[in-house]
Structure 1
Amino acid sequence: MRQSCDSAGRRIRQKSIDKEEDSDMERIVIVGGHGKVALHLARLLADRGDEATSVIRKAEQKADIEQAGGTPLVLDVENADVDEMAKAFSGADAVVWSAGAGGGSAERTYAVDRDAAQRAVDAASKAGIRRFVMVSWIGSTPDHGIDPDDSFFAYADAKLAADDHLRASDLDWTILGPGTLTTDEPTGRITTAPQGKAEVSRADVAAVAAAVLVQPATVGRFIRFGAGDTLIAEAIVADRADGGQA
């Protein structure tokens, strides 16, 4: 793992140097592009000169993507196969998975949060994309403690399976584990490996995703976080940022 992460870091650092030298933008594919975190992320990427290609399910969502500075791409990832996803991802520098079933039946939760996410990982690999950032949740561990009879169990189980699939891949991955999401204004500050209940704004989750995309030290790490006092750029490279799990 250490050697793999080191080589991944060198690739990301070299891409950053190349970008500075030729002023080319990075193309980032955001899956689940109409979600609140994804819309914040598209704005952040556009503001720093990158291109956000936002994958959405419905054509009527295009205007919201364009207003956020992204480029809409209509694809129903719940039903798309690996080849279709790979075609959509082709030419990108990185993929950010921020999609989810958003509640509903356990069947649909598994279909999106587990199965589609796993296909996206495979599609990125097939398309030759190295960098993959997964937006998961803070409690994604084998001992998450959610009772199988709890309606939340399907989500916890599905996210863990997707995270494990990404860990086992050949990609340069980072998994984000935010606490309970809020609509608070962004602060640009978080705390990693928080104790007890943690909350964090969707805007700050997007800022963390944008930051890890260009930070090689985050490759191969699961970063659990909530609102806090440490600048995001500093928090994501702290020794404890992975919450004890890499």
Structure 2
Amino acid sequence: MERIVIIGGHGKVALHLAGLLSERGDEAVSIIRNPAQSADVERAGGTPLVLDVESADVEALAEAFAGADAVVWSAGAGGGDADRTYAVDRDAAQRAVDAAGAAGVRRFVMVSWIGSVPDHGISPDDAFFAYADAKLAADDYLRASDLDWTILGPGTLTLDPPTGRITTAPQGSAEVGRA
């Protein structure tokens, strides 16, 4: 049995992952900010851990990761405010990478997006720029770490049921089901 810590544990991807891990006999520890989300996490098969990653320092994150076999970053600020987007999607993600190393967790999976490339073409005047910039910075930080990492770059996530197949695309508006 493996212990997997999922950051952003109440998101659709994270809840689905907690269920998959639980079904195969692994422990899914789902970090959530809002304790009211605990029942949803438990129903999905995860064990809720209340921690605000936006304000948690490296030490607090490392404590949450202690004994884990892997960390999965699936959190996000949800758009809107650029300062909060940078605080969560870049800064907190980078602290999580450092915390995984400090806790001795070698495996880190980053749920990113298809456009996380240096030449994403999004104008700094575009409201989406902060997200694109923050995700790229977090992905680059993970790439530069000494962790064993995987960065998932999906396109638009849908609620379509799983088919057992995915479509790959270099960059653009490819869609993929969360499952």
Q: Which runs of 5+ in 2 are unaligned?
A: none
Counterpart among 26, 30, 34 of residue 54 in structure 1 = 30
Measured after TM superposition, the shift of residue 191 of structure 1 is 2.4
The normalised TM-score by structure 2 is 0.98
Please say if residues 154 and 176 of structure 2, whose CA atoms lie closer than 8 Å, have aligned partners that are also in contact: yes
In structure 1, what is the equivalent of residue 108 of structure 2? Answer: 132
Q: Which runs of 5+ in 1 are unaligned?
A: 1-24, 204-246
Provide runs of 4+ in structure 1 moved above 3 Å.
193-196
Letter in 1 for 2:67: G
In structure 2, what is the equivalent of residue 166 of structure 1? Answer: 142
Measured after TM superposition, the shift of residue 194 of structure 1 is 4.6
In structure 2, what is the equivalent of residue 4 of structure 1? Answer: none
In structure 2, what is the equivalent of residue 65 of structure 1? Answer: 41
Measured after TM superposition, the shift of residue 192 of structure 1 is 2.7
Counterpart among 150, 154, 157 of residue 130 in structure 2 = 154
Q: Is residue 27 of structure 1 aligned with residue 15 of structure 2?
A: no
The DSSP-based 3-state class of the residue aligned with 1:189 is coil
In structure 1, what is the equivalent of residue 166 of structure 2? Answer: 190
Aligned residues: 179
Shift of the 145–119 alpha-carbon distance from structure 1 to 2, 3 Å rule, reads same
Following the alignment from structure 2 to structure 1, what is the Cα–Cα distance between the partners of residues 99 and 82? Answer: 24
Counterpart among 75, 87, 96 of residue 111 in structure 1 = 87
RMSD of aligned residue pairs (Cα, Å)? 1.0
Letter in 2 for 1:55: I
Following the alignment from structure 1 to structure 2, what is the Cα–Cα distance between the partners of residues 47 and 105? Answer: 37
In structure 1, what is the equivalent of residue 71 of structure 2? Answer: 95
Larger radius of gyration: 1
Identical amino acids, percent of aligned pairs: 83
Measured after TM superposition, the shift of residue 193 of structure 1 is 3.6
The DSSP-based 3-state class of the residue aligned with 2:62 is helix
The normalised TM-score by structure 1 is 0.71
The DSSP-based 3-state class of the residue aligned with 2:19 is helix
